[in-house]
């Protein structure tokens, strides 16, 4: 649609997480650096908390990619949809760790096989890191089953580190009595904030540059202000609104995205924060 119109090589505001577009904002870079530091130590658990759309999955993939460069030290496993039973999470982890198993294996058989794999890898000097995205959706019993695997080191010296990426609801889950020990062993926690107005502007410019744009600012000052207000600084909403605003500008033949195009995008997006009086004034017949 608007790629050629604006001189781009690709769409800059895709909702699919792509580490090429990772922006080193102070908060996200701090989370990235501190998490890597925590994994270098002996932490059992780390957690990254953020509202929907604040970039948790992007950060998770960025850390995973960074650890890929150290395959001689780290073995990683990634579970993106943890709404699984105790047996289900063990099957998923066995697949991630390439543990040979029968698809019909019971929870206890899988627990034994995975425990042995973790012990064997640890004896080879490897650190096993399990990344769980959307961890707030995990059943309490499933998270407790994962915790059981981290207790291996007390007798064997085995190492399993768990990183939880989750919405704030995880904090409620972690108050359950069965997870008290897990909570006590949480050595690193970071909450990803929403972007401020300057952060939204930097985010827009960064993604446009990564998509091949090299001209003057596409978004006017007024457009950026409305994007910030409509998105409340949530990157995913910024992407949705910016994409729709660029389509609106393209439809009018504009070479810049102005305030009216952003307001049109906000009007078309149910999840955006809408200033109804402003919308009514702009779109009054």
pLDDT tens column, 193-250:
999 999 999 999 999 999 999 888 999 999 999 999 999 999 999 999 999 999 999 9
Q: Are strands 74-79 and 45-49 parallel, antiparallel or unpaired?
A: unpaired
20 vs 210: CA distance, rounded Å: 8
Residue from 242, 228, 226, 232 nearest 279 by CA: 226
What does pLDDT average to over the chain?
A: 90
pLDDT computed for residue 156 by the predictor: 63
- Give residue 226's Cα distance to chain centre: 25
CATH topology of domain 26-191: Rossmann fold (3.40.50)
Q: Is the pLDDT of residue 74 over 50?
A: yes
Strand partners for 51: none
What mean pLDDT comes out for the span 97-104? 92
Which residues, including other chains, have CB under 8 Å from residue 138's CB and lie 6 or more apart?
Answer: 82, 83, 84, 89, 132, 173
pLDDT of residue 267: 93
Place of tokens 């502007």: 201
Query: Which pLDDT value is given to residue 15?
Result: 85
Query: What are the pLDDT digits (tens) for 245-264?
Result: 999 999 999 999 999 999 99
Q: Where are the domains of the chain?
A: 26-191, 195-280
pLDDT per residue as tens digits for the range 7-19: 999 999 988 878 8
- Each residue of 23-52: pLDDT tens digit? 778 888 999 999 999 998 877 899 999 998
Evaluate if residue 68 carries a pLDDT over 50: yes
Domain 195-280 belongs in CATH node 3.30.420.40: no
Convert 191-219 to b/e letters by CB count within 10 Å (16 or more is b): ebbbbeeebbbebbbbbbebbebeeeebb
Q: Say what the pTM is.
A: 0.85
Strand, coil or helix: 161: strand
pLDDT value at residue 278: 47
Given this model, what pLDDT does residue 94 score?
A: 96
By three-state DSSP, how is residue 159 classified? coil
Distance CA 127, CA 163 (A): 13
Distance CA 135, CA 46 (A): 12
């Amino acid at each position: 649609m608007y790629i050629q119109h604006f001189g781009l090589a690709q769409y800059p505001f895709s909702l699919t997480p792509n580490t090429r577009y990772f922006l080193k904002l102070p908060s996200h870079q701090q989370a990235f650096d501190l998490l890597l530091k925590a994994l270098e130590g002996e932490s059992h658990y780390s957690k990254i908390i953020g509202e929907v759309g604040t970039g948790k999955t992007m950060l998770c993939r960025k850390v995973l990619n960074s650890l890929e460069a150290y395959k001689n030290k780290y073995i990683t496993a990634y579970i993106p949809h943890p709404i699984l039973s105790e047996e289900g999470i063990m099957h998923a982890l066995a697949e991630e760790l390439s543990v040979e198993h029968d698809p019909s294996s019971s929870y206890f058989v899988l627990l034994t096989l995975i425990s042995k794999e973790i012990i064997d890898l640890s004896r080879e000097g490897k650190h096993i890191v399990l990344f769980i995205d959307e961890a707030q959706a995990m059943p309490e019993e499933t998270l407790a089953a994962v915790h059981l695997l981290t207790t291996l080191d007390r007798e064997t010296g085995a190492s399993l580190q768990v990183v939880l990426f989750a919405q704030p609801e995880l904090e409620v889950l972690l108050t359950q009595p069965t997870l008290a020990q897990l909570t006590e062993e949480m050595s690193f926690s970071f909450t990803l904030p929403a972007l401020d107005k300057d952060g939204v502007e930097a985010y827009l410019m960064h993604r446009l540059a990564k998509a091949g744009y090299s001209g003057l600012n596409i978004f006017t000052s007024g457009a950026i202000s409305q994007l910030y207000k409509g998105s409340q600084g949530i990157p995913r909403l910024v992407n949705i609104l910016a994409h729709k605003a660029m389509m609106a500008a393209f439809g009018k033949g504009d070479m810049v995205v102005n305030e009216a195009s952003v307001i049109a995008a906000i009007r078309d997006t149910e999840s955006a924060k809408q200033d109804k009086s402003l919308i009514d004034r702009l779109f009054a017949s």
